[in-house]
Amino acid sequence: MNLSNNINLNLLNKSLDGLWLKQQVTMDNIANYSTPEYKSKFVDFESQLKEKIENITLNKHIKRTKLNEDIEKSDIIIGENDNLSSRLDGNNVDLEKENLDLAKTQLQYMYTITEMNSYFSKLKSAISEGKK
């Protein structure tokens, strides 16, 4: 019996991994704002997760363990933005976008942690049968 064999838990876990990485990449971009020829990087894990889940939910008979495995194996991609830079030194970091990403990632992280807390507290309450 595996208490952590839960789709939601794995999804939230993977999401936290991706968000943490996104935060680090964003800070990297901001730090390199003045570096010549630096191309800003981005992190993409949402589309990978979405692909894996949409593939599975089309075939409803696939077991939960397979879905969990797929979620755990889904990639987190780090790529480079190759859009044209509007600066003379070839640097294409957009400071507004990076700051915005910082705020959004932080909020998404907090919400994901709250959901995870709620999952664990429900589990605890079920185990202790509602008694303190």
Task: List residues near other proteins by CB under 8 A.
Answer: 7-8, 11-12, 14-15, 46, 49-50, 53, 86, 94, 96-97, 100, 103-104, 107-108, 110-112, 114-115, 118, 121-122, 125-126, 129-131
The residue among 12 and 38 lying less far from other proteins, judged by its C-beta, is 12
Closest distance to other proteins from the beta carbon of 18 (Å): 9
Nearest CA to 36 out of 94, 93, 95 is that of 93
| Torsion region of 36: left, alpha or beta (phi above 0 gives left; psi -120 to 50 gives alpha) | beta
Residue 39 vs 97, nearer CB to other proteins: 97
Cβ 131 to other proteins shortest distance, Å = 8
Alpha helix (H) ranges present in the chain?
A: 7-31, 46-58, 64-73, 95-127
